[in-house]
Chain A
Amino acid sequence: MREIIMDHYSNPRHKSNPDGEGFISIHSSSVNCIDDIDVFLKEKNGVVVDAVWNGVACAISTASTDILCDLVLGKSVREALYLIEQYHHMISEEPYDAAVLDEALAFMNTSKQAARIHCATIGWDAMEKLLKEKK
Chain B
Amino acid sequence: MIDPYKIRKDFPMYRNKIQMQKHPLIWLDNASTTLKPDPVLDAVSLYYTNETSNSHRGDYDLCFNMDKKVLETRQTIGRFLNCQPNEVVFTSGTTASINLVAFGYGAKYLKKGDEILLTQAEHASNVLPWYKVAEMTGCSVSFIPLDKDGRLTPDNLRKVISKKTKIVAVAHITNVLGYIAPVKELAKITHENGALLVLDGAQSVPHMKTDVKDLDCDFLSFSGHKLCGPTGIGVLYGKFDLLCKMEPFMTGGGMNSKFDMCGDVGYLEPPLRFEAGTQNLEGILGLKAAVDYLMKIGLDEINYYEEELKKYAVKELQKTNNVTIYNPKSEAGIVTFNINNVFAQDAATYLNSRGIACRSGQHCAKILIDYLGVVATIRASFYFYTTKEDIDALVDAVKNGGNYLDAYFN
Q: A1-B409, A109-B409 are in contact. Are A34 and B346 (CB under 8 A)?
A: no
A28 to chain B, nearest CB (A): 15
B358 to chain A, nearest CB (A): 12
Closest to A56 in B: B375
Q: How far is the CA of A115 from the CA of B345 in the complex (A)?
A: 10
Majority secondary structure, A binding face: helix
A110 touches B408 (CB 8 A): yes
Q: Is A119 an interface residue (CB 8 A)?
A: yes
Closest to A107 in B: B408
Q: Is B352 an interface residue (CB 8 A)?
A: yes
Q: A113-B353, A115-B352 are in contact. Are A34 and B345 (CB under 8 A)?
A: yes
Q: A34-B376, A59-B346 are in contact. Are A5 and B405 (CB under 8 A)?
A: yes
Q: Is A72 an interface residue (CB 8 A)?
A: no
Which residues on the A side are within 8 Å of B404 (C-beta)?
A: 59
Q: Is B391 an interface residue (CB 8 A)?
A: no
Q: How far is the CA of A123 from the CA of B344 in the complex (A)?
A: 19
B362 to chain A, nearest CB (A): 7
Q: A58-B345, A58-B346, A59-B346 are in contact. Are A34 and B361 (CB under 8 A)?
A: yes
B353 to chain A, nearest CB (A): 7
The interface size bin for chain B is: 10 to 19
Q: Is B190 an interface residue (CB 8 A)?
A: no
0/1 per residue, A15-55, Cβ < 8 Å to B?
00000000000000000011100000000000000000000
A34 touches B375 (CB 8 A): yes
Which residues on the A side are within 8 Å of B362 (C-beta)?
A: 34
Q: Is B349 an interface residue (CB 8 A)?
A: yes
B345 touches A33 (CB 8 A): yes
Which residues on the B side are within 8 Å of A98 (C-beta)?
A: none
Name the one of A6, A34, A115, A119 contacting B344, with C-beta atoms under 8 angstroms: A34
Q: Is B360 an interface residue (CB 8 A)?
A: yes
A119 to chain B, nearest CB (A): 7
Q: Is A116 an interface residue (CB 8 A)?
A: yes
Name the one of B349, B360, B361 contacting A113, with C-beta atoms under 8 angstroms: B349
0/1 per residue, A97-129, Cβ < 8 Å to B?
000000000010110110110010000000000
Q: How far is the CA of A2 from the CA of B345 in the complex (A)?
A: 17
The interface size bin for chain A is: 10 to 19
Closest to A60 in B: B346
B353 touches A119 (CB 8 A): no
Q: Is B407 an interface residue (CB 8 A)?
A: yes
Q: Which of B327-359 contact A (CB under 8 A)?
A: 343-346, 349, 352-353
Name the one of A1, A5, A6, A115 contacting B349, with C-beta atoms under 8 angstroms: A115
Q: How far is the CA of A60 from the CA of B349 in the complex (A)?
A: 10
Name the one of B345, B376, B405 contacting A119, with C-beta atoms under 8 angstroms: B345
Q: How far is the CA of A112 from the CA of B350 in the complex (A)?
A: 12
Q: How far is the CA of A60 from the CA of B404 in the complex (A)?
A: 11
Name the one of A6, A110, A113, A119 contacting B352, with C-beta atoms under 8 angstroms: A113
Which residues on the A side are within 8 Å of B346 (C-beta)?
A: 58-60
Which residues on the A side are within 8 Å of B409 (C-beta)?
A: 1-2, 109
Instruction: Select the residue from B352, B361, B408 with max chain A CB neighbours within 10 A.
Output: B408
Q: A1-B409, A34-B344, A109-B409 are in contact. Are A116 and B349 (CB under 8 A)?
A: yes
Closest to B361 in A: A34
Which residues on the A side are within 8 Å of B352 (C-beta)?
A: 113, 115
Which residues on the B side are within 8 Å of A110 (C-beta)?
A: 408
A2 touches B375 (CB 8 A): no
Q: How far is the CA of A112 from the CA of B406 in the complex (A)?
A: 12
Subset of 11 A-B contacts with CB under 8 Å:
A2-B405, A2-B408, A2-B409, A33-B345, A33-B360, A35-B345, A59-B343, A60-B349, A60-B408, A113-B352, A116-B349
A-to-B contact residues, CB < 8 Å: 1-2, 5-6, 33-35, 56, 58-60, 107, 109-110, 112-113, 115-116, 119
Across chains A and B, which 6 residue pairs bring their CB atoms closest together, nearest first?
A58-B345, A34-B376, A58-B343, A59-B346, A2-B405, A58-B346
**Given A33-B345, A34-B360, A59-B343, 15 additional A-B pairs, CB 8 A:** A33-B360, A33-B361, A34-B376, A56-B375, A58-B343, A58-B344, A58-B345, A58-B346, A59-B404, A107-B408, A113-B352, A113-B353, A113-B407, A115-B349, A116-B349
